[in-house]
């Protein structure tokens, strides 16, 4: 459980819920169902949810894949400050937005999905997660040959001949040991100089 | 392009057949419910929405049947093995099983949307005609009794004009199961997007087991018989073509038409999905059986960059290059099975996997073995599964490009080639193999221990390709990649650029195989 960022899944779920709300709302409004004005509300709420959830937050570790064109909305969300950062607020907002749509059959699916997203956001908030915007990286122009660093001047260390003659021992080298340290090769390696 | 068609024509054919069957089933069911006299009165209330709902339902049954089959990995391995006499092209679709699974899943989502929208209209229309007081045919039909002497006379499932749609939905079997399985479907889809699957595998793994709820709900969904058509007996007595016009006189005992009688039909979903469910159940039973088999860990190696190598033995285990296994470690998690490519060669007397930290489970596994406490944690293995990378051996010259942990499938291949050389295997066409392992920290070949030319930094692909083209001017070169999309794009371009227009001269064939 330690490394799971629940907010990431909550984000996918909320985005899907927004789309479902919009779809249900369109059906109810276009079909002029009974109490169709709830459908109009659902369209508005769904659009709001989609706009809020479209920019993906940055992962705690490692790089995060942006959604296409999300930087414009990211800029807007950054202006909202704690309202966009805090997941307690998002959980409460989604819960509140989902309630009116629960009165109409056409939009009840959107309601349930959004409530689930709200619960997952609550879990994320409890675990101290926060929304951090993905900062645009300066465009790197990979120069031809630019990544070739100074090759090492010494050849890689090879274990001494004696160590290589003992293939049967359990060899659990802890990480952080000397690089290329005593290690039994699965197949005997012949030492041909390149 | 020509290369792609030659390799993939069978997959395309399967897709065309699959889609064609979808269209056929949809149209057939649509026409049935749109034109059959049995549903004449039903259509009077519901209109075309009935046909849309039933047609999408039939396609949903069909696709729900298909979706379990591509993940019956043992079945696929069996088919691959029995059909080894078939050409590689015919067996290629087996390698794209997960792609097909996703395609069917998208189709299920689309059909679910159509089905739900159609039924929303159906419910709305049932509700309106229930409340209508205009004495139209629709309102007469809706008022047919639920409790009368005729018993099953009713057509409209909404009992009274005051019942709300939400109430009907959540108190009918069809409505309640429909909502539940749709929620299950949505949760499965949102947790299965690539971003979540790659970085938080456990979320995907556990949530995807909601498919059990989906299957059970689907089977129960039609039990209520809420879609009703006129009974045969009733049609013989009072056929709609004769009686529909005179619906005001149905109460009149002298009139030759009686009230129509209706019946629901038996649920059909179970007929479609029974077989794949049994097949999949066998798969899980087989996995459980295999998990009881003893796996002996013969060697544990901790490599730099926190990569754990486990060498194991299991009775009756035999593998091919490029295959993968599912691994379970009960002391870490009783239920999770994680896939790993096999890094050993079939010629070796053990099999091995290399594990790097990519999430909770892998971190705990590496920690458990780091402690070097005896007894070692128990490991269970299911497999091997997956494509055999025999393609590599068919090329005179092979370029294998792996990025990061993507080098693992090539480890197996390279070692196997080495063994085949040793044993002078005549079936091996490969004469020269070049391996580019792109590691970001140290250029150490921790996997194979084979001698290789070590260069530093990102390769300049154009240079590499032209060197090979000059060195082997008349050969067919197979380029194999296990790495990111961006790299795939540039390599594909290089292949096209450096392949000679003359088919007798050097040709580069790009294979992005998902190992």
pLDDT of residue B19: 97
Residue B53 · residue B119 · CB < 8 Å: yes
* Number of residues written out for chain B: 515
Closest CA of chain A from B504, distance in Å: 32
pLDDT surpassing 90 at residue B74: no
Distance CA A72, CA A136 (A): 11
Mean pLDDT highest for which of A53-62, A89-98, B479-488?
A89-98
Residues of A in contact with B128 (CB under 8 A): 34
Does residue B52 sit in helix, strand or coil? helix
Mean pLDDT of B18-38: 96
Closest CA of chain A from B196, distance in Å: 7
pLDDT of residue B173: 93
Both tokens of B140, joined, read 């007469």
Residue-wise DSSP of B393-441: HHSSEEEEEEEGGGGHHHHHHHHHHHHHHHTT-TT----EEEEEEE-SS
Question: Dihedral, CA atoms, A177, A180, A183, A188, nearest 10 degrees?
Answer: 180
Does residue B129 sit in helix, strand or coil? helix
Residue labelled with tokens 């299957």: B215
B174 conformational bin, left if phi > 0, alpha if psi -120 to 50, beta if neither? alpha
Buried b (16+ CB within 10 A) or exposed e, B103-135: bbbebbeebbebbbbbbbbbbbbbbbbbebeee
pLDDT surpassing 50 at residue B266: yes
Mean pLDDT highest for which of B7-11, B63-67, B298-302, B422-426?
B63-67
Buried b (16+ CB within 10 A) or exposed e, B1-20: eeeeeeeeebbeeebeebee
pLDDT of residue B303: 87
Considering chain A, what is the average pLDDT of its residues?
80
Q: How many CB pairs under 8 A join A and B?
A: 141
CATH 2.40.30.10 fits B293-386, yes or no: yes
Distance CA B379, CA B366 (A): 13
* Burial status of residue B254 (CB atoms within 10 A of its CB: 0-12, 13-18, 19 or more): exposed
Q: Which of A3, A9, A33 sits opposite B196 (nearest CB)?
A: A9
Distance CA B247, CA B140 (A): 8
CB atoms within 10 A of CB B211: 18
Higher-scoring residue by pLDDT: A125, B475: A125
Both tokens of B468, joined, read 């090979």
pLDDT surpassing 90 at residue B511: no
First vs last C-alpha separation in chain B: 22
| Per-window interface: A 16-55 vs B, CB < 8 A | 16, 20, 23-24, 27-28, 31, 33-34
B112-117's contacts with Cβ under 8 Å and 24+ in sequence apart are B112/B56, B112/B60, B112/B182, B112/B185, B113/A23, B114/B52, B114/B56, B115/B52, B115/B53, B115/B56, B115/B57, B115/B60, B116/A109, B116/B178, B116/B182, B117/A23, B117/A27, B117/B52
Distance CA B376, CA B297 (A): 8
pLDDT of residue B493: 83
pLDDT of residue A146: 52
Q: Which of A3, A9, A179 sits opposite B359 (nearest CB)?
A: A3
CB atoms within 10 A of CB A86: 17
Output the CA–CA distances (angstroms, integers) from residue B47 to B108, B154, B169, B270, in the order listed: 24, 18, 20, 27
Q: Is A68 within 8 Å of chain B by CB?
A: no
The secondary element (H helix, E strand) that includes residue B482 is strand B476-482
Partners of B399 in the β-ladder:
B434, B479
Q: Per-domain residue ranges for chain A?
A: 6-56+67-126
**Cα-flanking dihedrals φ and ψ of residue B477, to 5°?**
-110, 125
B458-465's contacts with Cβ under 8 Å and 24+ in sequence apart are B458/A142, B458/A147, B458/A148, B460/A144, B460/A145, B461/B490, B461/B491, B461/B494, B462/B494, B462/B497, B462/B498, B464/B399, B464/B436, B465/B494, B465/B495, B465/B497, B465/B498, B465/B508
CATH 3.40.50.80 boundaries in chain B? 389-435+460-513
Buried b (16+ CB within 10 A) or exposed e, B65-93: bbbbbbbbbbbbbeebeeeeeeeeeebbb
- Residues contacting residue B176 through CB under 8 Å, at least 6 positions apart: B169, B170
Picking from A111-125, B52-66, B326-340, which range would have the lowest pLDDT averaged per residue?
B326-340
Residue A42 · residue A97 · CB < 8 Å: no
pLDDT of residue B90: 74
pLDDT of residue B2: 64
Mean pLDDT of A87-111: 94
Both tokens of B237, joined, read 């007595």
pLDDT surpassing 90 at residue B252: no
Higher-scoring residue by pLDDT: B453, A55: A55
CA B465 to chain centre: 36
Residue of A105, A169, A176 best to disrupt the B interface, most CBs of B under 10 A:
A105
* pLDDT band for position A177 (cuts 50, 70, 90): very low
* pLDDT band for position B401 (cuts 50, 70, 90): confident
Picking from A11-25, A39-53, B157-171, B250-264, which range would have the lowest pLDDT averaged per residue?
B250-264
Mean pLDDT of B79-92: 73
Q: Is B23 within 8 Å of chain A by CB?
A: no
pLDDT of residue B427: 61
pLDDT of residue B501: 75
* pLDDT band for position B275 (cuts 50, 70, 90): very high
Write out pLDDT tens, residues A124-174.
999 999 898 888 776 666 555 555 566 666 666 676 666 655 444 434 333
- Residues contacting residue B247 through CB under 8 Å, at least 6 positions apart: B137, B140, B141
Residues of A in contact with B195 (CB under 8 A): 8, 12, 56, 65
Residue B322 · residue B412 · CB < 8 Å: yes
Picking from B239-248, B291-300, B405-414, B422-431, which range would have the lowest pLDDT averaged per residue?
B422-431
Residue B509 · residue B477 · CB < 8 Å: yes
Q: Is A65 within 8 Å of chain B by CB?
A: yes
Residue A51 · residue A77 · CB < 8 Å: no
% chain B with pLDDT above 70: 88
CATH 2.40.30.10 boundaries in chain B? 293-386
Residue labelled with tokens 């190992």: B515
pLDDT of residue B440: 42
A32 conformational bin, left if phi > 0, alpha if psi -120 to 50, beta if neither? left
Mean pLDDT of B94-102: 87
pLDDT surpassing 60 at residue B195: yes
Compute the C-alpha angle A48/A53/A58, nearest 5°. 155
Q: In chain A, whose CA is at the least distance from the CA of B179?
A: A109
pLDDT of residue A55: 92
Residue labelled with tokens 């689930």: A116
Distance CA B156, CA B128 (A): 11
What is the pTM assigned to this prediction?
A: 0.82
Q: Please count the CA atoms within 13 angstroms of the CA of B125 that sit on its side-chain side.
A: 19
pLDDT of residue B410: 78
Residue of A1, A2, A172 best to disrupt the B interface, most CBs of B under 10 A:
A172
> Into which CATH architecture does domain B389-435+460-513 fall?
3-Layer(aba) Sandwich (3.40)
* Burial status of residue A141 (CB atoms within 10 A of its CB: 0-12, 13-18, 19 or more): exposed
* pLDDT band for position B498 (cuts 50, 70, 90): confident
pLDDT surpassing 50 at residue B336: yes
Higher-scoring residue by pLDDT: B88, A68: A68
Both tokens of B342, joined, read 């096999």
Higher-scoring residue by pLDDT: B80, B457: B80
Which of B383, B384, B380, B381 shows the shortest CA–CA distance to B331?
B380
Higher-scoring residue by pLDDT: B129, B402: B129
**Cα-flanking dihedrals φ and ψ of residue B16, to 5°?**
-65, -45
CB-based contact A171 B199, cutoff 8 Å: no
pLDDT of residue B507: 82
Mean pLDDT of A96-123: 95
Output the CA–CA distances (angstroms, integers) from residue B479 to B415, B427, B447, B512, in the order listed: 18, 20, 20, 8
Q: What is the ipTM of this complex?
A: 0.82
């Amino acid at each position: 459980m330690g490394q799971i960022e629940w907010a990431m899944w909550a984000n996918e779920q909320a985005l899907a819920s927004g789309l479902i709300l919009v779809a249900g709302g369109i059906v109810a409004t276009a079909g002029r169902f009974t109490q169709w004005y709830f459908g109009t509300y659902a369209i508005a709420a769904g659009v709001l949810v989609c706009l809020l959830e479209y920019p993906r937050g940055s992962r705690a570790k490692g790089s995060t894949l942006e959604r296409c064109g999300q930087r414009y909305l990211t800029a807007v969300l950054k202006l909202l400050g704690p309202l966009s950062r805090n997941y307690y607020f998002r959980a409460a907002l989604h819960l509140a937005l989902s309630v009116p749509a629960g009165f109409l059959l056409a939009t009840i699916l959107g309601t349930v999905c959004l409530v689930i997203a709200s619960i997952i956001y609550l879990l994320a908030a409890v675990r101290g997660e926060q929304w951090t915007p993905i900062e645009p990286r300066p465009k790197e122009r990979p120069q031809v040959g630019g990544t070739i660093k100074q090759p090492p001047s010494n050849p890689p260390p090879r274990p001494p001949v004696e160590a290589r003659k003992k293939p049967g021992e359990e060899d659990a080298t802890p990480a952080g040991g000397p690089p290329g340290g005593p290690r039994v090769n699965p197949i005997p390696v012949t030492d041909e100089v390149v | 392009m020509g290369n792609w068609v030659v390799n993939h024509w069978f997959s395309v054919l399967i897709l065309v057949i699959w889609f064609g069957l979808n269209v056929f089933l949809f149209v057939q069911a649509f026409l049935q419910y749109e034109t059959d006299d049995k549903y004449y009165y039903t259509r009077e209330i519901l209109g075309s929405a009935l046909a849309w709902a039933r047609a999408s339902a039939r396609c949903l049954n069909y696709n729900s049947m298909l979706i379990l089959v591509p993940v019956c990995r043992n079945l696929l391995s069996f088919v691959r093995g029995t059909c080894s006499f078939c050409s590689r092209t015919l067996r290629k679709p087996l390698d794209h099983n997960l792609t097909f699974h996703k395609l069917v899943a998208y189709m299920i989502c689309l059909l679910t949307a159509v089905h739900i929208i159609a039924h929303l209209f159906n419910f709305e229309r049932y509700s309106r005609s229930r409340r209508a007081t205009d004495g139209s045919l629709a309102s007469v039909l809706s008022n047919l009794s639920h409790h009368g002497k005729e018993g099953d006379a009713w057509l409209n499932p909404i009992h009274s004009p005051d019942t709300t749609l939400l109430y009907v939905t959540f108190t009918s079997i069809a409505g309640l199961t429909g909502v539940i399985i749709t929620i299950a479907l949505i949760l499965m889809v949102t947790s299965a997007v690539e971003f979540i699957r790659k970085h938080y595998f456990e979320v995907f793994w556990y949530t995807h087991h909601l498919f059990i709820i989906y299957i059970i709900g689907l089977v129960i969904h039609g039990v209520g018989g809420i879609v009703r058509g006129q009974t045969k007996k009733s049609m013989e007595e009072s056929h709609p073509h004769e009686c529909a016009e005179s619906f005001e006189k149905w109460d009149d005992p002298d009139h030759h038409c009686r009230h129509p009688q209706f019946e629901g039909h038996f649920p059909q979903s179970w007929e479609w999905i029974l077989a794949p469910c049994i097949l999949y159940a066998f798969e899980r039973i087989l996995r459980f059986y295999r998990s009881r088999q003893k796996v002996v860990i013969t060697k544990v190696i901790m490599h730099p960059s926190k990569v754990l190598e486990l060498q194991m033995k299991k009775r009756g285990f035999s593998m091919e290059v490029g295959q993968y296994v599912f691994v379970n470690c009960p002391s870490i998690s009783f239920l999770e099975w994680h896939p790993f490519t096999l890094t050993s060669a079939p010629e070796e007397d053990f099999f091995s996997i290399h594990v790097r930290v990519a999430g909770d489970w892998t971190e705990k596994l590496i920690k458990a073995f780091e402690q070097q406490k005896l007894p070692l944690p128990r490991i269970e293995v299911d497999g091997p599964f997956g494509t055999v990378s025999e393609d590599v051996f068919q090329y005179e010259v092979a370029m294998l490009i792996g990025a990061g942990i993507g080098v693992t499938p090539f480890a197996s291949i390279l070692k196997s080639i080495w063994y085949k050389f040793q044993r002078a295997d005549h079936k091996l066409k490969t004469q020269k193999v070049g391996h580019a392992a792109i590691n970001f920290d140290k250029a150490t070949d921790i996997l194979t221990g084979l001698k290789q030319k070590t260069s530093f930094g990102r390769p300049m692909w154009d240079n590499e390709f032209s060197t090979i083209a000059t060195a082997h001017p008349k050969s067919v070169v197979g380029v194999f990649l296990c790495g990111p999309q961006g790299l795939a794009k540039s390599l594909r371009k290089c292949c096209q650029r450096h392949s000679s227009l003359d088919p007798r001269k050097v040709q580069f064939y790009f294979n992005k195989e998902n190992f």
